[in-house]
Amino acid sequence: MATLLAIPILGILLILQTAIFSDLMLLHGTADLVLVAVTAWALQKQVETAWQWGIIGGLLVTIASALPLGVALIAYPVVVGIAILLRQRVWQVPVLAMFVSTIIGTFVLHAISLVALRLVGSPLPILESLELITLPSILLNLLVAIPAFVIFSDLADWLYPQEIEV
């Protein structure tokens, strides 16, 4: 159920991103709703389907994006892995983990994208990319991170109700 739910949720987020959020640029950076969503989902302690969400998110972005094949499929599960790692390390302050995961996740996704584009013969200037795309994207992702974390926290509580001892 939780895995299947990833398809409509991430699908809707991807549609929103391609139709609206890709136009809302800060310098040349844009918010990545799918990345923020899989990160927020992976940080929920009761969630057991974070990897599946990462793979589904990667698949959907692969379909929609012209990035070299495999970039999103590799990057999103890696971001999930980072989030799970941080959840275990910084479990007492989930919001802090969300911020750190978003920053590292955006860096990782952009680094993998830049390497892949370089490999397919389209090298981009790294410093310029960092300045004009990655850093603004991190800022936009951080703006979306808190509402996303709250929404996915509620979703996780709904899907994985906690047992109450009587």
Partner 1 sequence: MKRLPTRTLQTIVLVLFVVGAILLALGGFLTPVSSLVMGPVVDAQTWLATRYQAIVNYFNAPQDLARLRQTNQELETEVARLEAEIIRLNQQLSETRMLSALVDFARAQPENRYLAAAVIGRDPSPFLQYVIINRGSDDGLRRGMPVVTDRGLVGRISRVTASAASIQLITDPSTSINVRLEPSRAQAVLQGTLTGEVSLEQIPQSATVQPGDLLLTSGLGGNYPSNIVIGQVTGVRSRDIDLFQSASVQPTVDFDQLEIVLVITNFSPIDSSPLVPTPQSP
Give the residues lining the site for partner 1 (CB under 8 A): 14-15, 17-19, 22-23, 25, 28-30, 32, 34, 61, 64-67, 110, 113-114, 117, 121-122, 124-125, 128-129, 132-133, 137
d(CA 44, CA 91): 10
Q: Is 15 or 93 the residue whose CB approaches partner 1 more closely? A: 15
Least Å distance between CB 147 and partner 1?
19
Residue (16 or 146) nearer to partner 1, CB:
16
Nearer to partner 1 among residue 55 and residue 86 (C-beta): 55
Instruction: Please compute, for residue 118, the number of CA atoms within 13 A of its CA located in the half-sphere on the CB side.
Output: 10
Nearest distance from residue 53's CB to partner 1, in Å? 16
**17: helix, strand or coil:** helix
Closest approach of partner 1 to the CB of residue 142, in Å: 15
Angle at 117 (CA atoms; ends 102, 10), nearest 5 degrees? 40
**Residue 8 beta carbon to partner 1: minimum distance, rounded to whole angstroms:** 17
CB of 112 to partner 1, least distance (A): 11
Asked if 112 and 75 touch (Cβ cutoff 8 Å), the reply is yes
Tell me the DSSP string of 100-126.
Answer: HHHHHHHHHHHHHHHHHHHHTT----H
The residue among 90 and 117 lying less far from partner 1, judged by its C-beta, is 117
| Residue nearer to partner 1 on the CB measure, 29 or 94 | 29
Residues whose CB is less than 8 angstroms from the CB of residue 133 and which lie 6 or more positions away in sequence, other chains included: 27, 28, 29, 110
**What is the residue type of 137?**
S
